[in-house]
């Protein structure tokens, strides 16, 4: 399973990110060493959305993917990866770590 985190990112170009005391939802508490983590810079703190993959940066996003790009995906039952992200991150705006489906992880991989 892959994971995504939306949180404040003070240095978006950092090679390593450290997150402490993060809220977990939607399977986020099952995160373990060596899991893939997609990092979103929280718009709540002035970030721009998806910026990195894994907590040790292995790639930087080449395209924007944040609240503005996902807000039109509101049909919670449509099964689209974009809708999963909108639901888990922006329906409730709190920063958090979430588990994501394989389809959503595959969508996010295409941003790198």
Q: What is the pLDDT along the chain (112 residues), one digit of tens a residue?
A: 899 999 988 898 899 988 877 888 999 999 988 999 999 998 877 666 666 576 788 889 999 999 999 999 999 999 999 999 999 999 987 899 999 999 999 999 999 8
Q: How many domains does the chain have?
A: 1
- Domain encompassing residue 86: 2-109
> Which residues have C-beta within 8 Å of that of residue 6, sequence separation ≥ 6?
40, 42, 89, 95, 96
pLDDT of 92: 85
Degrees to nearest 5, angle at CA 95 with 26 and 101: 30
């Amino acid at each position: 399973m892959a994971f995504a985190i939306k949180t404040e990112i003070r240095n978006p170009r950092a090679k390593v990110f450290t997150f402490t005391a993060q809220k977990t939802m939607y399977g986020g508490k099952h995160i373990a060493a060596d899991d893939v983590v997609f990092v979103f810079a929280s718009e709540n703190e002035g970030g721009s959305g998806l910026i990195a993959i894994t907590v040790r940066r292995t790639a930087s996003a080449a395209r924007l993917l944040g609240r503005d790009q996902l807000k039109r995906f509101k049909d919670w039952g449509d099964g689209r990866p974009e809708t999963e992200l909108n639901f888990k991150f922006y329906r409730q705006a709190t920063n958090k770590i979430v588990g994501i489906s394989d389809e959503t992880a595959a969508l996010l991989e295409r941003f790198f």
